[in-house]
Amino acid sequence: MAERQARAELSELDRRIINAMQGGFPLTDTPYRDVAAGLGISEDALLVRLRELLETRVLTRFGPMYQIERMGGKFVLAAMAVPEARFDAVAEQVNALPEVAHNYRREHRFNMWFVLATETPEGIDAAVARIEADTGLPVYPFPKLREYFVEMKLSA
Amino acid sequence: MSPTDPLDPLDRALILATQGGLPLVSRPYEGLAAQLGIDAAQVQARLARMLETGLIRRIGAVPNHYALGYAANGMTVWDVDDARIDALGEQVGALPFVTHCYHRPRHRPDWPYNLFAMVHAHDRAEVLRHADRIADLLGDALQGWDVLFSSKILKKTGLRLKD
């Protein structure tokens, strides 16, 4: 994966853009121009910086965050204990599924944690079965029983 | 969670068109509208409705937290008295350094923890200080805990519906 781990060199403007763009993107005819005006820059300058931030993976995505439960789907966190010698190969198998929305390596016996996102609840079971069949390893699903708080904004 | 309606075909088409991201062009909604054979005002109205109903949480950018200098991402996990977890989960979720907080099932004997709270910080020591504060808050309802630091993002694409 080309995911960068290092802290990026960000200009003051990049930080302001990242902070301004984490939510509340306007539903106007020219939304970038409107955000740019708020930042005191031109629309072109904003678009150039956004493309660069996405290309260098400082931003992993820009657009609507869909809450799949509201359309009958499901998000489930799941974990696996993957033998170190097979870690990269298993990561490749798991990541190959479009149902895997993100995946993190964590320092624990359960060293792989991923989120399955599917359009129907049955899709989760199918994805879990598929991963278990592909890897020969048990998958531990952690569906949410209750959500107390979610706020993913981080200040740059 | 409110009951769900079946997904409207136009909403679904709009989700498919935007799940990879919004176009980085001057009139992004117009571009989407052309693609879907509707007009920009309809795209805007649909997106507004999805925001209202919660189908869209927000429209915005997702940063790679490492790139922003949040080098330590700790998933703190807690074994909390089931009878008290809702009240305590709300309090843990309200802490300023907690970005997600959920009640999830245990998988005994391998996994005794039922409360998950994600903590993003600049270094591991800061995550651990935050975890101490959560432990204090949970008090005598707490039976055990752990912090799982992330060492690598293996994938981060977000939701993908199938065509």
Q: What is the CATH number of the domain that holds B124?
A: 3.30.70.920
Taking the domain A68-143, which CATH number applies?
3.30.70.3460
Residue B2 lies in a domain: no
Can you spell out the DSSP letters for chain A?
-----SPP---HHHHHHHHHTSS----SSSHHHHHHHHHTS-HHHHHHHHHHHHHTTSEEEEEEEE-GGGGT-EEEEEEE---GGGHHHHHHHHHTSTTEEEEEEESSSS-EEEEEEESSHHHHHHHHHHHHHHH-S--EEEE-SEEEEE------
Contacts of B61 in chain A (CB under 8 A): 18, 21-22, 50, 53, 59, 61-62
pLDDT on residue B1: 40
Residue B126 lies in a domain: yes
Catalytic residue among A102, A105, A106, A108: A102
The CATH number given to whatever domain includes residue B25 is: 1.10.10
Does B88 lie in the same domain as B41? no
Chain B residue numbers with beta carbons less than 8 Å from the beta carbon of A36 are none
Residue B21 sits in the same domain as residue B88? no
Task: Tell me the per-residue pLDDT of B55-104, one tens digit each, with 9 for 90 and over.
Answer: 999 999 988 888 888 888 899 999 999 999 999 999 999 998 998 999 99
Structural domain of B31 = 9-53
Q: Do A60 and B89 touch (CB under 8 A)?
A: no
Residue B154: inside a domain, yes or no? no
What confidence tens digit (pLDDT) does each residue in B104-151 have? 999 999 999 999 999 988 899 999 999 999 999 999 999 999 999 998
Report the pLDDT value the prediction gives residue B67, as an integer from 0 to 100.
Answer: 86
pLDDT at A134 over 80: yes
Fold (topology level) of A12-56: Arc Repressor Mutant, subunit A (1.10.10)
* Same-domain pairing of B41 and B76: no
Is the per-residue pLDDT at A59 higher than 90?
yes
Residue B73 shares a structural domain with residue B143 = yes
Q: Are residues B127 and B93 in the same domain?
A: yes
